[in-house]
Structure 1
Amino acid sequence: MKITKIEVQKNNPERYNIFTDQAGREAFTTGVDEAVLVQWDLKKGKELTEKELELLIEDDHERKAWNRALHYLSSVMRTEKEVYDHLIEKEFTEASAAKAVEKAKEYKFLNDREFAKAYVRTKINTTDKGPKVIRMDLEKKGVSEKHVSEAMKALTDELALDRAVAAAEKKGRQKKGESAGSVKQRLLQMLLRKGYDHETASAAVKEADFAPSEEDEWNSVLVQGEKAYRKWGNKLEGRALEQKIKEYLYRKQFPMEQIQRFIDEKREESEDGNGKKVQPDEQA
């Protein structure tokens, strides 16, 4: 078939429409990138076989994949897997995607080893994620175990502990009605979710400076104690009510001495209709 016309595409000046003579009539045959146009020396009057046209279209498809890869890499660093998966998602063939990835590696646009190092540094400086989550993120991005382990050396055990302590102190402010024990348990679970191992998380919670004042702790006991009293005060009385309130406050991880203080103060209330009086223990 003979090329009868070549024209620049209206929406993309770097691509060209190729027309050929088909059964005596001029017809659009394919579009090609400017680089493919030059590579194949395409011009009006040139003859192309069916096989040549097939190879030309294949080269153009690979060129499209390459251009798409460059665009995807233009904003942030990516891994080999991320680029490959992106091209497959954009419906490029596996062969074209693989060639684009290899070409990007040759041009030093892709380097999983350097990506892993930069990723770990960024997470250390901008987030409070723990080692487990950072490692898992890199593995999901397709970085090899070798490169992941090398990059993770930047996050030493000492640094991980310091970051865990900082995260705990940031989130450790006691909420109204929350016991110190509940705060510690909440922070421990938070650190575990963020990717710190149990040993580091536990040490961080112990080291973190967020201990509430005695007044804050007592106010929390009052909030939760009154809540329990309102809930069961009309259903129970005496020893049964006392035991129910104790169990409730104990589950909230308040110190037993403060729980008993609340019970004692309730005992001292006058029976003036404000609520049911909690009866003292026989041994009290």
Structure 2
Amino acid sequence: MPKITLIQAQKKAGRYNIYLDGTYAFPVAESVLIKYQLAKGMEIDKQLLSQITSADLQAKAYNKALDYLSHQLRTQKELSDHLKELGIDEPTIKEVLTKLLDLRLLDDQVYANSFVRTQANLSDKGPTVIRQKLRQKGIGENLIDRALLEFPPEAQVANAKKLGQKLAKRHQASPLKIRQNKIITGIMTKGFSASVANSALEQLDLQVDPNQELAALTTQAKKAWRRYQRFDLKTRQLKTKQALYRKGFNLDEIDKVLAELAE
């Protein structure tokens, strides 16, 4: 039965080369060296060699996992996918995940809570979009539900209001009704509920600028009037009126502008 004749430290910290009967045999991590109490003169049979090899694979995978986790919080799925990309087999990955979970170095609930707080504080994303992002990261629905408690309704309305203010400026040339609809749609697209979007809209207290609305109406009316010039007068007026109404302009104001165009 072969015996260990030399244990030589590698240049890489925490790694050692094992020599059997004077010939290099295999490398091991320091943790494996300690676990199996490897020492000069120790006999190594096939069964023990297999155990040492398996343990070293786990040690290398564990160190790679620690390195991946050192940069930022990760989910179980993210870590598992990363180790798979490195060519580590499924059984070893499961062993590594179990060890990290036991040591609380990997916790999907902690990750989800932190993710929700970050999104609530630094982004314009609402709960629906945040939930989708967490699902993609492999977080379960129950964990997501608990994490979203970190983003209470009042905070959602406050964030939605900030987003609404940006949208109000972007669509300030639109009629009030259309402007309001675009704000609501924009807020909901970011993942906020209809009730939150409406609450935010109410707090915006949008004001109507008659001069601005009239200028916008006149511009749109002229475009529509030219678009339907091939029709007779009545049809042209009707089509123009319908187009302007769909854009949210006031009917009385539309009639006044159309009367001027018809002249």
Give the alignment's TM-score, normalised by structure 2: 0.84
1:74 positional shift:
0.9
Which whole-Å CA distance do the structure 2 matches of 1:66 and 1:255 have between them? 68
1:17 positional shift:
4.2
1:65 positional shift:
1.6
Residue 256 (1) aligns with residue 251 (2): yes
Residue 207 (1) aligns with residue 206 (2): no
Which whole-Å CA distance do the structure 1 matches of 2:17 and 2:250 have between them? 80
Residue 48 (1) aligns with residue 44 (2): yes
Contact 1:169–1:210 (CA under 8 A) maintained in structure 2: no
Residue 230 (1) aligns with residue 263 (2): no
Amino acid of the structure 2 residue aligned with 1:265: E
1:125 positional shift:
1.1
Contact 2:172–2:179 (CA under 8 A) maintained in structure 1: no
Q: Equivalent residue for 2:56?
A: 60
Q: Which has the higher helix share?
A: 2
Residue 95 (1) aligns with residue 91 (2): yes
1:219 positional shift:
2.0
Q: Equivalent residue for 2:241?
A: 246
Aligned residue pairs total 262
Residue 196 (1) aligns with residue 186 (2): no
**Structure 1: unaligned runs, 5 residues or longer:** 269-284
1:42 positional shift:
4.2
Which whole-Å CA distance do the structure 1 matches of 2:151 and 2:13 have between them? 48
Which whole-Å CA distance do the structure 1 matches of 2:172 and 2:137 have between them? 41
Which whole-Å CA distance do the structure 2 matches of 1:176 and 1:224 have between them? 15
Which whole-Å CA distance do the structure 2 matches of 1:242 and 1:36 have between them? 87
The partner residue of 1:110 within 106, 112, 132 is: 106
Contact 2:217–2:254 (CA under 8 A) maintained in structure 1: yes
SS of 1:32 mapped into structure 2: strand
**Structure 2: unaligned runs, 5 residues or longer:** none
Which whole-Å CA distance do the structure 1 matches of 2:202 and 2:25 have between them? 72
Residue 69 (1) aligns with residue 65 (2): yes
Contact 2:180–2:201 (CA under 8 A) maintained in structure 1: yes
Q: Equivalent residue for 2:117?
A: 121
Cα distance change on mapping 1:17 and 1:255 into 2, 3 Å: farther
The partner residue of 2:260 within 251, 260, 265 is: 265
SS of 2:169 mapped into structure 1: coil
Cα distance change on mapping 1:178 and 1:46 into 2, 3 Å: same
The partner residue of 1:163 within 127, 137, 159 is: 159
Q: Equivalent residue for 2:77?
A: 81
1:19 positional shift:
5.1
Amino acid of the structure 2 residue aligned with 1:117: N
1:29 positional shift:
4.3
Contact 1:177–1:221 (CA under 8 A) maintained in structure 2: no
Residue 34 (1) aligns with residue 30 (2): yes
SS of 2:155 mapped into structure 1: helix
